[in-house]
């Protein structure tokens, strides 16, 4: 349990990701744009009947959740889902929403750093007294932590020996993203998260991961813009559960509950996998502008069995952006966190984040 508690702190990282339904694309009345749904059919007969009736295209199963992604022409995903739910043999149907981002060892950036606003290095590790825990227990290579994010810079010097092979579940990347079939991080967020979990410690380089010594499975479910579909997140969670992960870190949240996402979480929990998720970014700073309501619930954090993590500042106070919720499991440092970042130029550099040699 001590190891799991340390790994829960790995979410002190970064601002969670926020899920928003994709805005409808204007199109001529006679040619509605295709929408994506996640549907659970009672049997193959019902499936074939519905696909034929709507001239729908299957985009494959959503891991082992029992759901399937389909595309069909409709005026809106919500309308199409409601219509399908009324058909015989359709057990459930919901829009496939897009996910968008709203970010004492001898490692030199442990005590100070030239990157963050505070310049205080890994202040969060020191504040949470993780360094004292290292005297008792450190990460073990027998533990695999899956990060469901934007992938990883596999060549980063502070992640060498810490990574295991991981797939890419990005079914519809933005047209501006590089063409790539691997889990290479073209955004930056995923490498940052991977380093907070498992960057090599006491190696005289950069930072030390909270659970350094574990192995990280950096599944790429988001494209260069930090966007993807809920179905890709669900596929990632079930893949991790089936391929050796003991912990799954999901730094994202949806304001509306998703049966498909909950099914993926339930599947992972049934296989004794710990699921850690961000509690949400709907606190006083942003809760009335980018969230349905102040402190709106976030999923999967709000699901039973998930370790929901909130963020705190250097004064041990809740971060102004962090949601206050009754499902909160633990809070940990989440402001000005220093970690690994791709050694090449990525989308977050394009958007203004300075590029550095670490």
Domains of the chain with CATH codes: 2-20+100-350 (3.40.50.200), 34-96 (3.30.70.260)
Q: How far apart are CA 160 and CA 147, in angstroms?
A: 16
- For tokens 């790995």, the residue is 10
pLDDT of 16 over the 90 cut: no
Query: Mean pLDDT in the chain?
Result: 86
pLDDT of 352 over the 70 cut: yes
Angle 250-348-212 from CA coordinates, rounded to 5°: 45
Mean pLDDT, to the nearest integer, of 113-138? 79
Q: Which tens digits make up the pLDDT trace of 325-346?
A: 899 999 988 888 889 999 999 9
Mean pLDDT, to the nearest integer, of 232-252? 96
What is the DSSP-derived secondary structure letter of residue 215?
A: E
Distance of CA 319 to the CA centre of its chain: 20
């Amino acid at each position: 349990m001590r190891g799991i508690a340390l790994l829960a702190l790995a979410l002190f990282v970064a601002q969670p990701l926020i899920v928003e339904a994709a805005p409808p694309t204007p199109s001529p009345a006679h040619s509605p744009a295709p929408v994506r749904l996640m549907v659970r059919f009672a049997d193959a007969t019902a499936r074939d009947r519905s696909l034929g009736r709507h001239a729908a295209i299957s985009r494959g199963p959503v891991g082992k959740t029992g759901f399937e992604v389909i595309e069909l022409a409709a005026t809106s995903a919500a309308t199409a889902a409601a219509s399908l739910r009324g058909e015989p043999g359709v057990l459930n149907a919901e829009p496939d929403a897009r996910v968008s981002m709203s970010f004492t060892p001898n490692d030199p950036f442990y005590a100070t750093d030239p990157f963050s606003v505070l310049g205080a290095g890994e202040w969060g590790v020191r504040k949470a007294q993780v360094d004292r825990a290292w005297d008792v227990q450190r990460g073990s290579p027998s533990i695999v932590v899956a990060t469901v994010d934007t992938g990883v810079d596999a060549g980063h010097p502070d992640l060498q020996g810490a990574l295991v092979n991981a797939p890419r579940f990005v079914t519809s990347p933005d047209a501006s993203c590089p063409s790539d079939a691997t889990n290479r991080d073209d955004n930056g967020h995923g490498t940052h998260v991977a380093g907070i979990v498992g960057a090599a410690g006491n190696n005289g380089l950069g930072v030390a991961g909270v659970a350094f010594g574990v192995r990280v499975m950096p599944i790429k479910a988001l494209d260069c813009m930090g966007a993807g579909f809920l179905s890709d997140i669900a596929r990632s969670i079930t893949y991790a559960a089936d391929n050796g992960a003991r912990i799954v870190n999901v730094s994202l949240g949806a304001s509306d509950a998703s049966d498909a996402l909950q099914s993926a979480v339930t599947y992972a929990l049934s296989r004794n996998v710990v699921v850690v998720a961000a509690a949400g970014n709907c606190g006083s700073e942003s809760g009335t502008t980018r969230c349905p309501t102040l402190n709106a619930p976030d999923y999967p954090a709000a699901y039973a069995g998930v370790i929901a993590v909130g963020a705190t500042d250097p004064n041990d106070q809740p971060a102004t952006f962090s949601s206050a919720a009754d499902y909160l499991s633990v809070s940990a440092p989440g402001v000005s966190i220093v970690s690994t970042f791709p050694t090449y130029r990525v989308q977050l550099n394009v958007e203004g984040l300075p590029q550095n040699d670490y």
